[in-house]
Chains A and B, each alone.
Chain A
Amino acid sequence: MTRARAETFGAWVRVDDRTLLAVDRATARRFGVDGGGRWQHPAPSSIVDETTRPLEVHVAVTARCPVACSGCYLDAHPDGEHRAFEEIAATLDDIAARGVFTVAFGGGEPLSHPELPRIAAHARARGLLPVVTTSGVGLTAERARELSSFAQVNVSHDGLGAQYRDTRGFDGARVAERALATLVEAGVPVGVNVVLTRALLGGDGAGLLALVDRVIELGAREVQLLRYKPQGRAASLEYLARRLTPAQVAQLPALISTLVSRTSVRIDCALVPLLSFSSVGRTSSAMVGRASSAVVGRTSSAIVADLVALGVMGCEAGRALGAVDVHGRDAPCSFLPGMSPADVSAFAAPEPCASCPVRAVCRGGCRVVSRHLQGDPFVPDPECPRVQEARR
């Protein structure tokens, strides 16, 4: 069923499991939406800054994980507690009433929660689109069939063979690959989450390309690239050795361009500043990869327009994104437990972000990285090449 929520510009409308649209007021009316007080004033010229309520909420269902990766952002353990079904159901009722579209379940290892299929069914019954991310540990063919309520299951896979072990501290590549094949076999839509680390990209990105080829072969229909973030057990000195080098950051657009020719690629909110470097004050071939002739030579305003059209809105913590931790507490995003969504959403990044051509789709980069490296979440992302250049 179509689900719609009025906004100042018109509405967000989810037309099917794979398509969430921002539409203007005339189109919203065709979907039967009445904007009421939201449409009392003239429509804004852009959707940027107009979505102040979550479209997506990430809900932790458990603090338990049998493998306890070295970089776990939640600090999950094998003896962590599950959150009770009734409490999770109450959270889902609440976020559905707030007009949220998608609920992404995480943990810990969500598959370890015995009632995960029931939780997904409850989300569906409330009009929410349930998705989940798993390491694949504990996934059997029977369990995979029980996951049919999910719009998509993403399996985390951070490198082939030893590369996975080096990144996560446990030998999980085969587990992830088996899980992928099992889910595909069960007819569940599957994507893959890949955390970009120094070890995975190496000197030429070959590790990432090989990994993507492997997961395509196994039936993954999209790859989500994630920035490595210093939260939980990853907020350690190790972070400095695992994050991408400046040379690897410079290589990213071309690498993504290559990946896109092989499969569907998503980037996460935190990657935006790392991809924007060459658009900012130097050349306009940024965000898009030097290898992509379709986009080279475009202005930063055109690039921003494109990103907005694709729903890329940078750091959405506390705005289009919300999170509920395993204790039921609200957070602006999963990586910022204990912080107030209102405080984070109110952050207006100072220079060099304030005058940055891509500020509207970046918002000053990742608060998690700023907090870890600068001791203050409310400063520009110190790993952004433009921020680094401004400091020189």
Chain B
Amino acid sequence: MMDVATKSLTGQGIALSFGGIEVLKGLDVEFRAGEITGLIGPNGAGKTSLFNCLTGAYHPQKGAISYAGHSLEGLPPAARAQKGIVRSFQHVALSPDLTVLENVMIGVARNYHSGWLHAFLPTVRGRHEKAEMRADAERALAELGLAKAADKMPSELPPGMLRLVEIARAIVGRPAVLMLDEPAAGLNNSETRDLMRSLSALASPDLVMVVVEHDMDLVMSICDRIYVLNFGAFVACGTPAEVRSNEEVVRIYLGSDDD
């Protein structure tokens, strides 16, 4: 129990505003390892902004963020990535110049450290490293059922597939914290079901997984805990059953979503 608690990603009093508009109003969160946490809320609630604060893309005016007991204060996104804190993007952010496989290989790049010489010359170590990255990426693609798309360019794939590629890039490097921003947007029903299965399979005692999603079926069925965000503040937090029966949540979110 102790072990699990120390591996969590926590934020205390995270407050973020843009030019006087309060986007996040002092949020306290604890995303625990071994759980899949859902983060839901209407459009503009601040879900992506919270991700951005946690990964270091935004600088909250107030609040403390720590992972496994260590403060992430002042660490740029790249340094947080080095600690295994990884995310996917709501708006697909793949390089159009790279094949799908190469895009996914970038997800493991942070685990390799060969120098510049290996980048320019056909050295044994460089080739070895590339082969390993390739194998990792192929495995991640296969897990999401994308093996056939490996050598395609992103421009040749439909948006739903690109989102899966984006997820493959996030999971390929064996992250410690995995934050997925609307992973199922643009997927059809069967693709969403496959994705749910893959995400559930990914859960492990050491992994902190957070999923922002508008698809309630997905959130309710795979998440262990759910945070509900509205106008930059949490209105509820608990198990799917608790959240589903929370009147406030039903009113502001589920109610409007169902009809």
Do these two chains really belong together in a complex? no
Task: State the B residues within 8 Å of A (CB).
Answer: none
Task: State the A residues within 8 Å of B (CB).
Answer: none
